[in-house]
């Protein structure tokens, strides 16, 4: 009996030893992983950024973790991230294809698809189309100003009360993107808008929360009726709304005279016919990709920006002085006015830096066997960018750990942008909506600061800068008071 127990013990030990994840030869170092679980038990899934920093101190700027049994490499600091994403950009331009977001979106769209001909065609099309909408009548700048009139009205109706700006900024950001994609905006109480906002919030919350991590780490659990199933239902429901909008566009569009992004895509389909990766199914996910990414990142940055402006009223006042001086005889601000407002531009960039809205970027993977910082990285390895390690890197910033616009100003008070400012990532996969996002943030913040003063409520306690972690990080819900300015 004793011998049988000992033999059973050794058999189990041998099986567990075989299941223990092993690092390839010359792979970046990292903590030992548990059989099946990998390193998931060593991370706080609700806020893992502190754990990433702790591991960086132990293993260096390039280290590895196991997501279940799959190895992943974590990049920290400007040098490592720049070598991977810029110097060897195509080597690291892939997207892992066996993860939660890929299955939800059916491996379509532009954000999560792998590096290849379809992605290249769709990205080239998006960049050209968004650039064209940035010029001429009914440009993106006009669309932002049109939506801002509704935002201003909502804020005027809230004077004398406190309000939660989360819904307002989310709907403002969504409507700006929606006008570009579909040529339409929605009343803030519209059921379509509510459905989109619900889909965006819930899918992002699941995707980078504990359930998303469990889905990625344990493939055998994917068919069980667990909470991550809700994201698939949300995607199907909101896709039906997009399909209806696309159908309406097909019935009303005039060939060669596009009203919006969707018309441009349908024209491209007609041009290329059957020998193309352009299709209505791709368009559905493509539109949702841009809507989701553009809405959540912009609204989260605005929330962070106004939280800091209320917490540092002297910075808000200095912005308003610069705005009043430069726009004294102008009806409304233009994007080109940013060149005359170095301090305001510095404040906006500093809000982006501190907000760190996409803390782990979007996961990359290697497209071929390659090397990084002396380590060997096999093809298909998941790559995680720790953006906080760059945006708050010692030696790259005057004040790396505090909100201070001086991080973007030289001794003459001129605006400068340090090399480590990469909130939109870098290289071939840099955010294709970067230009729109910069325009949106500048026009919204300047327009609202010109008209209103934003005040932290006296009974609200101290501001809490601890963010809520997710695919995008957002400030914890807060309330604000709004006053009309007399200029």
Residue-by-residue DSSP string for 357-420: SSTT-S-EE-SSSEEETTEEE-TT-EEEE-THHHHT-BTTBSSTTS--GGGGB-TTS-B---TT
Q: Which residues pair with 75 in a beta bridge?
A: 62, 385
Helices (H) and strands (E) in the chain, counts: 16, 11
Alpha-helix runs per DSSP H in 183-326: 191-207, 210-217, 229-252, 261-272, 280-311, 313-326
Tell me which of 11-25, 222-236, 351-365 is least confident. Answer: 11-25
**In the prediction, which pLDDT does 481 show?**
96
> Is 3 a residue whose pLDDT tops 70?
no
Band (382; pLDDT cuts 50, 70, 90): very high
Cβ atoms of residues 438 and 321 within 8 Å: no
**In the prediction, which pLDDT does 288 show?**
85
**In the prediction, which pLDDT does 275 show?**
63
Q: Average pLDDT, whole number, for the chain?
A: 87
Report helix, strand or coil for 439: helix
Band (218; pLDDT cuts 50, 70, 90): confident
Summarised one tens digit per residue, pLDDT across range 96-138 is 887 777 788 777 877 888 888 888 888 898 888 888 776 554 5
Q: How much is the average pLDDT of 436-440?
A: 93
Please report, rounded to a whole number, the percentage of residues in the chain having pLDDT higher than 90: 51
Q: Edge-to-edge strand order for the sheet containing 480-484?
A: 162-163, 480-484, 452-455
Band (9; pLDDT cuts 50, 70, 90): very low
Band (18; pLDDT cuts 50, 70, 90): very low
User: What does the block give as tokens for 179?
Assistant: 């006008």
What is Dmax (Cα atoms) for the chain? Answer: 95
First to last CA, the chain: 91
Alpha-carbon distance of 144 to 138, in angstroms, equals 10
User: What does the block give as tokens for 233?
Assistant: 């239902």
If you classify domain 19-484 with CATH, what class do you get?
Answer: mainly alpha
Q: How much is the average pLDDT of 280-302?
A: 88
Band (164; pLDDT cuts 50, 70, 90): very high
Q: Which letter, b or e, does each residue of 95-123 get, where b requires 16 or more Cβ atoms within 10 Å of its Cβ?
A: bbeebbbbbbbeebbbbbbebeebbebbb
> Is 450 a residue whose pLDDT tops 90?
yes
Report helix, strand or coil for 249: helix
Summarised one tens digit per residue, pLDDT across range 386-408 is 999 999 999 999 999 999 999 99
Q: Please, is 309 exposed, middle or buried when counting C-beta atoms within 10 Å of its C-beta (0-12, 13-18, 19+)? A: buried
Phi, psi of 262 (to 5 degrees): -65, -45
Cβ atoms of residues 476 and 466 within 8 Å: yes
Domain definitions of the chain by residue range: 19-484
Band (209; pLDDT cuts 50, 70, 90): low
**In the prediction, which pLDDT does 446 show?**
98
């Amino acid at each position: 009996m004793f011998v049988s127990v000992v033999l059973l013990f050794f058999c189990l030990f041998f099986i567990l030893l075989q299941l223990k994840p092993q690092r390839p030869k010359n792979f970046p170092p990292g903590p030992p992983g548990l059989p099946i679980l990998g390193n998931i038990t060593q991370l706080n899934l609700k806020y893992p950024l502190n754990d990433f920093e702790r591991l960086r101190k132990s293993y260096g700027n390039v280290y590895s973790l196991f997501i279940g049994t799959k190895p992943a490499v974590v990049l920290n600091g400007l040098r490592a991230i720049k070598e991977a994403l810029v110097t060897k950009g195509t080597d690291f331009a892939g997207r892992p294809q066996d993860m939660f977001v890929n299955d939800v979106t059916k491996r379509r769209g532009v954000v999560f698809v792998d590096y290849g001909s379809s992605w290249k065609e769709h990205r080239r099309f998006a960049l050209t189309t968004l650039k064209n909408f940035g010029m001429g009548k009914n440009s993106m700048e006009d669309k932002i100003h049109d939506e801002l009139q509704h935002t201003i009205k909502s804020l005027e109706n809230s004077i004398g009360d406190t309000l939660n700006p989360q819904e307002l900024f989310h709907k403002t950001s969504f409507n700006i993107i929606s006008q570009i994609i579909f040529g339409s905006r929605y009343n803030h109480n519209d059921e379509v808008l509510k459905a989109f906002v619900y889909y965006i919030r819930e899918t992002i919350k699941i995707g980078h929360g504990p359930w998303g991590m469990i889905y990625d780490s344990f493939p055998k659990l994917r068919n069980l009726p667990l909470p991550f199933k809700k994201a698939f239902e949300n995607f199907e429901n909101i896709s039906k709304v997009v399909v209806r909008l696309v159908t309406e566009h097909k019935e009303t569009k005039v060939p060669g005279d596009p009203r919006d992004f969707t018309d441009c895509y349908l024209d491209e389909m007609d041009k290329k016919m059957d020998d193309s990766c352009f299709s209505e199914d791709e368009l559905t996910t493509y539109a949702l990709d841009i809507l989701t990414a553009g809405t959540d990142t912009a609204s989260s940055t605005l929330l962070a920006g106004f939280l800091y402006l209320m917490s540092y009223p002297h910075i808000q006042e200095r912005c308003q002085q610069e705005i009043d001086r430069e726009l004294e005889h102008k009806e409304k601000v233009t994007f080109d006015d940013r060149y005359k407002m170095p301090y305001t531009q510095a404040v906006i960039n500093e809000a982006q830096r501190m907000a760190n809205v996409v803390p782990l970027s979007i996961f990359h993977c290697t497209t071929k066997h390659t090397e990084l910082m002396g380590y060997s990285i096999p093809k298909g390895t998941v790559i995680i960018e720790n953006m906080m390690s760059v945006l708050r890197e010692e030696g790259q910033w005057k004040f790396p750990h505090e909100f201070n616009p001086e991080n973007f100003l030289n001794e003459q008070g001129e605006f400068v942008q340090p090399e480590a400012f990469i909130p939109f990532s870098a290289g071939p996969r840099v955010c294709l909506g970067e230009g729109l996002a910069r325009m949106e943030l500048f026009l919204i913040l300047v327009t609202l600061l010109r008209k209103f003063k934003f005040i932290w409520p006296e009974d609200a306690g101290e501001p809490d800068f601890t963010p809520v972690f997710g695919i995008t990080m957002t400030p914890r819900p807060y309330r604000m008071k709004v006053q009309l300015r007399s200029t």
